[in-house]
Amino acid sequence: MTQPQAEMLDLYRAGLKTAADLFKTSLENAERLQNQQLVAIRTAIVEQAKTASELGSARTLDELLSAHSRLAGAQLERALGYWSELCQVAGQNQMAAIGQVQQQMSRMSETLAQAVTASAAGVKPPERKQEGRKAA
């Protein structure tokens, strides 16, 4: 295999590794979001049972309205907290993905610069160790 072909193969391999890493990160983030949603659902079920109990124990209209306003405020607070956490996790996920892309682009840029420099000088760049392969 000629040197340019080997370099292009290395770049292609690096690009595939980056895509696989991004896919893994995406799946991990989806799992984290799903776990957060599961916790929110379980909390909502517990709170719904408490709400039903409090509303069921009200004896007068004033007690019922008082319990209703307390519970509505608590539910609104939980909903806002949930959405706040969801946005925070989504932002963290994006930051992680952007960081991975930046790292890979930096590595690819260095590899290309080395290849261009070596090609311009007519010098073969240093061989990189390849995992799982033995030199012939």
CB 25 within 8 A of CB 82: no
pLDDT, tens only, 63-78: 888 888 888 888 888 8
How far apart CA 86 and CA 71 sit, in angstroms, is 22
Please report, for residues 49, 79, 89, 94, 109, the alpha-carbon distance to residue 31 in angstroms, rounded to integers and kept in the order given: 27, 21, 11, 15, 32
> Would you say residue 136 has pLDDT above 50?
no
CB 14 within 8 A of CB 108: yes
Q: Return the exposure string of 46-63: e unless at least 16 CB atoms fall within 10 Å of the residue's CB, then b.
A: eeeeebeebeeeeeeeee
The pTM of the full predicted model, rounded to 2 decimals, is 0.57
pLDDT confidence band for 1 (50 / 70 / 90): low
pLDDT, tens only, 31-86: 988 988 898 889 888 988 888 888 888 888 888 888 888 888 888 888 888 888 88
What is the model's pLDDT at position 128? 56
Q: Considering the chain, what is the average pLDDT of its residues?
A: 80
Task: Return the number of other C-beta atoms located less than 10 Å from residue 7's C-beta.
Answer: 19
User: Distance between terminal CA atoms of the chain?
Assistant: 13
What is the model's pLDDT at position 33? 85
* Residue carrying the six token digits 């893994």: 24
What is the model's pLDDT at position 40? 85
What is the model's pLDDT at position 135? 46
